Amino acid sequence: MTDRLRVFTKDDVDPDALKDKTIAVIGYGAQGRAQGLNLRDSGLEVIVGARAGGGSEQRARADGFHTLSVEDAAEEADVIAMLAPDMAHGEIYEQVLRPRMKEGDTLLFGHGFSVLYGLVKPAADIDVVMVAPKGIGQLVRREYEKGRGVPALFSIHQDATGNATKTALGYADGIGGTAAAIWETTFRDEAETDMFGEQAVLCGGVTELFLRAYETLVEAGYPRELAYTECFHELKLVVDILHEGGLNKMYSSISETAAFGDLLNGGSIIGPEVKERMKGVLDQIRSGQFAHEWILENQAGKARFEAMKARKRDHDIEDIGQHVRSFMPWLEGGGNNSGD
């Protein structure tokens, strides 16, 4: 077991790290918006690079940002935060940013993928860093507004100026990370663990688990509403408890019947054979096989990706879920009785 990662705090931040520097946010989605607003509210100079007339430009202007074309933003900025989708990074960098970035500028990423797998090959005279908050954009913004923060990772891929760490820590502080914790990592470790978590647990593993459980109950003759609420709806209730206090809080919060069922049968559902398959997924990620497939899928137009996504979106659980949620007005976007 390796030692715990060092925690970087406000004391490690040079308060002048980003003084008199202009930060350009490229990609005004959930993360771009949250980080841009937090940086501005931290007293930093922020502009948004976006396509004229596009949704990003409209949203950024509504939030009071000075917007420019991506080309002009690249010319003006000292730090460029690349927060557009991973697969767009290569084209944006080569066609727009590279010809316009100045020696000593900083190219900042929110995820290690595009640099790790060669979609972006940065010029040698710029700093290349990563700052990756460990939470969705809405959470990053919400916690900042409460005077708190979401932990963040930072990494230095290229330090052309000798100030890359200062810049990364200053940016991480600006989005609120030092109110929680900042950990140093590598582009590789961030990208590989992030993709593994998404595939094995957070997205792939969880969705397949509740879909198979739902199907098992429905095929055994139980009403779809009961199958949905037990195998999908109540998942959030347990995850919230786990998120707040780990396994100890869960076991102190659920019934003894639920705890005994967990301890007796959980390991037979997710057993050693699943761990072996997870190792296979990790091997695909670490070897670059997954990245290669995803890059090729994008180059081919993403037909297979859309077909696989449609199979899940068209699952029966989506129909009954819309119906059940219509009776839960406290859920954001719960909808009406259109699933009836």
Predicted confidence (pLDDT) per residue in 195-206, tens digit: 999 999 999 999
Q: Is 30 annotated as a binding residue?
A: yes
Question: Any idea what the Cα angle at residue 24 is, between residues 22 and 26, rounded to 5°?
Answer: 175
Q: Is 86 annotated as a binding residue?
A: no
Give the percent of the chain with pLDDT over 70: 97
Residue 340: what pLDDT? Answer: 31
Active site residue 111: yes
Residue 336: what pLDDT? Answer: 41
pLDDT tens, 291-321? 999 999 999 999 999 999 999 999 999 999 9
Closest of 206, 101, 208 to residue 158, by C-alpha = 101
Q: Is 322 annotated as a binding residue?
A: no
A 10 A CB-CB count for 269 gives 11
Q: Is 145 annotated as a binding residue?
A: no
For the chain, how are helix, strand and coil distributed in percent, rounded to 5?
55, 10, 30
Contact 141, 37 (CB under 8 A): yes
pTM: 0.91
Q: Which of the following is catalytic: 66, 111, 157, 233? A: 111
pLDDT tens, 227-271? 999 999 999 999 999 999 999 999 999 999 999 999 999 999 999
